[in-house]
Amino acid sequence: MFKFLPHPVRGILSFLLYTLNTITLTVPLILLSFLKFIIPVHSFIVFLDRVLIFIATLWISINSFNSRLFCNIEWDIRGLEQLKKKEWYLVLSNHQSWVDILALQTALNQKIPMLKFFLKKELIFVPFLGLAWWALDFPFMKRYSKHKLRQKPHLKGKDLESTKKACEKFKHTPVSIMNFVEGTRFTPVKKEKQSNPFNHLLSPKAGGISFVLGAMGEYLHTIIDVTIVYPEKIPTFWEYISGRVKKIIIDFEVIPLTGFLKGDYFNDPDYKERIFSWLNELWLKKDQKINELKAGRI
């Protein structure tokens, strides 16, 4: 509707709509979440969680409408027909930009249970969104470095305990647990420092996956392997909201979660080696898929 406007004007108007949507919907979401503490009855909490997820889903839907108003993106989305709304999923994806999250929310909204991310504890202080993530039971993680663990050995395993505690909240309602396996956004500089065999990816990390499997293994039966490709260039958030992104490709592949991928990552060296090998093989295939998607061969 507003695609005739200059890109900077589109970006400003789109940003204002994102801000208005976020403030308008996160305030009631946060206030309602306090009812969990006032009425700590399991059946009521399950009902309230559904109300909170409805509000979050509405927020995503309005954001997607915002994108359609100001952007003219050609969406090439593959594999959605394999996905179900009432299933627990572990979602693995490559990571290149903050746009990845908006693109995934747009593609997957109401197709699978709401995406929930493991977040750094410091992100709870992000205005509005931090408390909204808390209200929606996004797990906030405090990871300990090897140096810290050497200084204070009693902290070993505390991060896994907090993950398991957070995942307990996911067991009464289907959820999609999102993991950007590379741990950070891809840049050529980061790629060069790693000296890995991939052209378009950073080295994958198995620890986060193992945390989730250790906490939710009895509920998770399926992995969604996501490949996000920006054929022209990796966009910034501003480029996305101002209508400068022309095409986004998202490929979904469903992988059954077998017993092969379940084990004790921290105490079983054989399992640790096995999941590392599996993940590296998955990433090699993903790197080749990105080559083919960029070249238009698939």
CB proximity list for 171: less than 8 A, separation 6 or greater: 216, 219
Dihedral over Cα of 256, 260, 262, 265: its sign:
negative
Per-residue confidence in pLDDT tens, the chain, 298 aa: 788 899 999 999 999 999 999 999 999 999 999 998 899 898 898 899 999 999 999 999 999 999 999 999 999 999 999 999 989 999 999 999 999 999 999 999 999 999 988 787 788 888 888 889 888 888 777 665 666 656 666 656 566 666 667 677 777 788 899 989 998 899 988 988 888 899 999 999 888 788 788 777 778 889 999 999 999 999 999 999 999 999 999 999 999 888 778 787 777 888 888 999 999 999 999 999 999 999 888 8
Query: Positive or negative, the Cα torsion across 221, 112, 56, 181?
Result: positive
Could you tell me the CA-to-CA distances from 199 to 25, 171, 228, 283 in Å, in that order? 40, 38, 14, 11
Q: What is the pTM of this model?
A: 0.89
pLDDT for position 149: 58
In the prediction, which pLDDT does 145 show?
Answer: 60
What are the structural domain ranges in the chain?
Answer: 75-295
Helix (H) or strand (E) holding 83: none
pLDDT at 147: 63
- CA–CA distance, 272 with 163 (Å, rounded to integer): 18
**119 has which bridge partners?**
140
The pLDDT score that the predictor gives to residue 215 is 73
Q: What distance in Å separates the CA atoms of residue 293 and residue 276, rounded to the nearest whole number?
A: 25
Nearest CA among 177, 237, 229, 178 for reference residue 200: 229
CATH no. for 75-295: 3.40.1130
Local structure of 55: helix, strand or coil: helix
Q: Pull the structure tokens for residue 175.
A: 């959820």
Q: Look up residue 148 and give its two tokens.
A: 């810290």
pLDDT recorded at residue 183: 85
